[in-house]
Amino acid sequence: MTRIFPMLASFSLMLMGVAVTLGLVIGDLYANPVTQATLDWRGRHMMTGVAAALFVVLVESIAVTYFVGTSRWCKEVTETYRLPPGDLAESARLKRRTFPWCVLGMLTVVVVSALGAASDPGTGRSDTSSWTDIHLAAAFGGLCLIAWTYYRAWLNIADNQRVIERIVAQVRQIREERGLDSPAIHEPIPASAG
Protein backbone atom coordinates (compact mmCIF):
# COMPACT_ATOMS: atom_id res chain seq x y z
CA MET A 1 0.00 0.00 0.00
CA THR A 2 2.92 2.36 0.62
CA ARG A 3 3.78 2.14 -3.10
CA ILE A 4 0.27 2.02 -4.56
CA PHE A 5 -1.16 4.94 -2.60
CA PRO A 6 1.35 7.57 -3.82
CA MET A 7 0.79 6.47 -7.41
CA LEU A 8 -2.99 6.80 -7.09
CA ALA A 9 -2.64 10.11 -5.27
CA SER A 10 -0.28 11.45 -7.94
CA PHE A 11 -2.68 10.48 -10.72
CA SER A 12 -5.50 12.15 -8.82
CA LEU A 13 -3.51 15.37 -8.41
CA MET A 14 -2.54 15.25 -12.09
CA LEU A 15 -6.22 15.02 -13.05
CA MET A 16 -6.97 17.99 -10.83
CA GLY A 17 -4.11 19.91 -12.42
CA VAL A 18 -5.45 19.15 -15.89
CA ALA A 19 -8.91 20.31 -14.83
CA VAL A 20 -7.45 23.58 -13.51
CA THR A 21 -5.46 24.09 -16.71
CA LEU A 22 -8.52 23.45 -18.86
CA GLY A 23 -10.46 25.92 -16.74
CA LEU A 24 -7.82 28.56 -17.42
CA VAL A 25 -8.00 28.11 -21.21
CA ILE A 26 -11.78 28.05 -21.55
CA GLY A 27 -12.10 31.59 -22.77
CA ASP A 28 -14.84 34.07 -21.96
CA LEU A 29 -18.02 32.23 -21.05
CA TYR A 30 -19.73 35.55 -20.38
CA ALA A 31 -19.21 37.03 -23.87
CA ASN A 32 -22.20 37.61 -26.06
CA PRO A 33 -22.31 35.42 -28.12
CA VAL A 34 -20.25 32.57 -26.68
CA THR A 35 -18.23 30.72 -29.30
CA GLN A 36 -18.60 27.00 -29.87
CA ALA A 37 -14.89 26.52 -29.08
CA THR A 38 -15.41 28.15 -25.68
CA LEU A 39 -18.35 25.84 -24.97
CA ASP A 40 -16.27 22.83 -26.03
CA TRP A 41 -13.47 23.81 -23.64
CA ARG A 42 -16.04 24.33 -20.90
CA GLY A 43 -17.34 20.80 -21.47
CA ARG A 44 -13.83 19.34 -21.32
CA HIS A 45 -13.11 21.27 -18.13
CA MET A 46 -16.32 20.06 -16.50
CA MET A 47 -15.81 16.40 -17.45
CA THR A 48 -12.19 16.45 -16.31
CA GLY A 49 -13.23 18.18 -13.09
CA VAL A 50 -15.87 15.55 -12.39
CA ALA A 51 -13.37 12.77 -13.10
CA ALA A 52 -10.82 14.44 -10.81
CA ALA A 53 -13.39 14.87 -8.04
CA LEU A 54 -14.44 11.23 -8.26
CA PHE A 55 -10.83 10.09 -8.24
CA VAL A 56 -10.04 12.22 -5.17
CA VAL A 57 -12.96 10.60 -3.34
CA LEU A 58 -11.75 7.18 -4.51
CA VAL A 59 -8.18 7.71 -3.29
CA GLU A 60 -9.31 9.09 0.07
CA SER A 61 -11.76 6.18 0.40
CA ILE A 62 -8.99 3.69 -0.33
CA ALA A 63 -6.99 5.16 2.57
CA VAL A 64 -10.01 4.90 4.88
CA THR A 65 -10.72 1.33 3.76
CA TYR A 66 -7.07 0.37 4.25
CA PHE A 67 -7.17 1.53 7.86
CA VAL A 68 -10.52 -0.11 8.57
CA GLY A 69 -9.23 -3.44 7.24
CA THR A 70 -5.78 -3.37 8.79
CA SER A 71 -7.08 -2.15 12.12
CA ARG A 72 -9.48 -5.08 12.22
CA TRP A 73 -6.70 -7.47 11.19
CA CYS A 74 -4.45 -6.14 13.96
CA LYS A 75 -7.22 -6.62 16.50
CA GLU A 76 -7.96 -10.20 15.47
CA VAL A 77 -4.30 -11.25 15.34
CA THR A 78 -3.51 -9.56 18.64
CA GLU A 79 -6.41 -11.35 20.33
CA THR A 80 -5.72 -14.71 18.67
CA TYR A 81 -2.04 -14.81 19.60
CA ARG A 82 -2.49 -12.90 22.87
CA LEU A 83 0.06 -10.26 21.84
CA PRO A 84 0.77 -7.16 23.91
CA PRO A 85 -1.80 -4.47 23.05
CA GLY A 86 0.74 -1.76 22.18
CA ASP A 87 0.78 -2.36 18.42
CA LEU A 88 -3.00 -2.66 18.31
CA ALA A 89 -3.32 0.69 20.09
CA GLU A 90 -0.79 2.24 17.69
CA SER A 91 -2.75 1.00 14.65
CA ALA A 92 -6.00 2.37 16.08
CA ARG A 93 -4.31 5.71 16.81
CA LEU A 94 -3.02 5.93 13.23
CA LYS A 95 -6.49 5.16 11.92
CA ARG A 96 -8.04 7.90 14.04
CA ARG A 97 -5.37 10.37 12.92
CA THR A 98 -5.93 9.59 9.23
CA PHE A 99 -9.73 9.74 9.00
CA PRO A 100 -10.03 13.54 9.50
CA TRP A 101 -7.47 14.17 6.73
CA CYS A 102 -9.34 11.90 4.34
CA VAL A 103 -12.68 13.52 5.12
CA LEU A 104 -11.11 16.96 4.69
CA GLY A 105 -9.82 15.96 1.24
CA MET A 106 -13.24 14.70 0.20
CA LEU A 107 -15.02 17.80 1.48
CA THR A 108 -12.48 20.04 -0.24
CA VAL A 109 -13.16 18.54 -3.65
CA VAL A 110 -16.91 18.84 -3.04
CA VAL A 111 -16.51 22.56 -2.22
CA VAL A 112 -14.37 23.18 -5.31
CA SER A 113 -16.94 21.38 -7.47
CA ALA A 114 -19.85 23.29 -5.92
CA LEU A 115 -18.08 26.60 -6.53
CA GLY A 116 -17.50 25.52 -10.12
CA ALA A 117 -21.20 24.83 -10.52
CA ALA A 118 -22.00 28.23 -8.98
CA SER A 119 -19.76 29.93 -11.58
CA ASP A 120 -21.31 28.14 -14.58
CA PRO A 121 -23.36 30.53 -16.74
CA GLY A 122 -25.16 27.49 -18.12
CA THR A 123 -27.24 27.43 -14.94
CA GLY A 124 -29.09 30.53 -16.14
CA ARG A 125 -28.43 32.46 -12.94
CA SER A 126 -27.45 36.09 -13.42
CA ASP A 127 -24.65 36.30 -10.82
CA THR A 128 -22.45 33.38 -11.97
CA SER A 129 -19.56 35.58 -13.11
CA SER A 130 -18.97 36.73 -9.52
CA TRP A 131 -18.14 33.13 -8.54
CA THR A 132 -15.39 32.51 -11.12
CA ASP A 133 -12.52 34.04 -9.12
CA ILE A 134 -13.69 32.28 -5.98
CA HIS A 135 -13.82 28.96 -7.87
CA LEU A 136 -10.32 29.56 -9.29
CA ALA A 137 -8.87 30.37 -5.87
CA ALA A 138 -10.61 27.35 -4.35
CA ALA A 139 -9.27 25.13 -7.14
CA PHE A 140 -5.65 26.17 -6.50
CA GLY A 141 -6.09 26.06 -2.73
CA GLY A 142 -7.96 22.77 -2.94
CA LEU A 143 -5.23 21.21 -5.05
CA CYS A 144 -2.65 22.12 -2.40
CA LEU A 145 -4.87 21.03 0.50
CA ILE A 146 -5.73 17.69 -1.10
CA ALA A 147 -2.03 17.08 -1.81
CA TRP A 148 -1.39 17.71 1.90
CA THR A 149 -4.13 15.28 2.96
CA TYR A 150 -2.59 12.63 0.70
CA TYR A 151 0.82 13.26 2.21
CA ARG A 152 -0.50 12.92 5.77
CA ALA A 153 -2.40 9.73 4.88
CA TRP A 154 0.69 8.29 3.19
CA LEU A 155 2.85 8.96 6.26
CA ASN A 156 0.28 7.22 8.46
CA ILE A 157 0.01 4.30 6.03
CA ALA A 158 3.81 3.88 6.18
CA ASP A 159 3.73 3.97 9.99
CA ASN A 160 0.89 1.45 10.04
CA GLN A 161 2.85 -0.82 7.70
CA ARG A 162 5.67 -0.89 10.25
CA VAL A 163 3.14 -1.83 12.96
CA ILE A 164 1.89 -4.70 10.80
CA GLU A 165 5.47 -5.88 10.20
CA ARG A 166 6.10 -5.95 13.97
CA ILE A 167 2.92 -7.98 14.54
CA VAL A 168 3.86 -10.43 11.76
CA ALA A 169 7.34 -10.86 13.31
CA GLN A 170 5.79 -11.61 16.72
CA VAL A 171 3.37 -14.11 15.19
CA ARG A 172 6.19 -15.80 13.26
CA GLN A 173 8.20 -16.16 16.47
CA ILE A 174 5.24 -17.62 18.39
CA ARG A 175 4.46 -20.08 15.58
CA GLU A 176 8.10 -21.21 15.45
CA GLU A 177 8.21 -21.66 19.22
CA ARG A 178 5.05 -23.79 19.11
CA GLY A 179 6.22 -25.79 16.10
CA LEU A 180 3.28 -24.69 13.98
CA ASP A 181 5.42 -23.96 10.92
CA SER A 182 7.37 -27.20 10.70
CA PRO A 183 8.91 -28.06 7.31
CA ALA A 184 6.71 -31.17 7.00
CA ILE A 185 3.65 -28.97 6.73
CA HIS A 186 5.04 -27.06 3.76
CA GLU A 187 6.47 -29.99 1.77
CA PRO A 188 4.78 -30.52 -1.59
CA ILE A 189 2.66 -33.61 -2.06
CA PRO A 190 4.49 -36.01 -4.41
CA ALA A 191 2.81 -36.69 -7.74
CA SER A 192 1.27 -40.14 -7.90
CA ALA A 193 3.15 -42.62 -10.03
CA GLY A 194 0.89 -44.20 -12.43
pLDDT at 193 over 80: no
For position 181, what pLDDT does the model report?
75
- Quote the CA–CA distance of 179 and 165 in Å, as a whole number: 21
d(CA 9, CA 135): 22
Measured between alpha carbons, how far apart are the two ends of the chain, in Å?
46
Q: Would the pTM of this model clear 0.95, i.e. be above it?
A: no
Interval 15-23 mean pLDDT: 97
Q: What DSSP character marks residue 35? A: P
Q: What average pLDDT does range 73-84 have in this prediction? A: 96
Tell which wins on pLDDT, 162 or 2. Answer: 162
Confidence of residue 178 (pLDDT cuts 50, 70, 90): confident
Q: What's the pLDDT score for residue 6?
A: 97
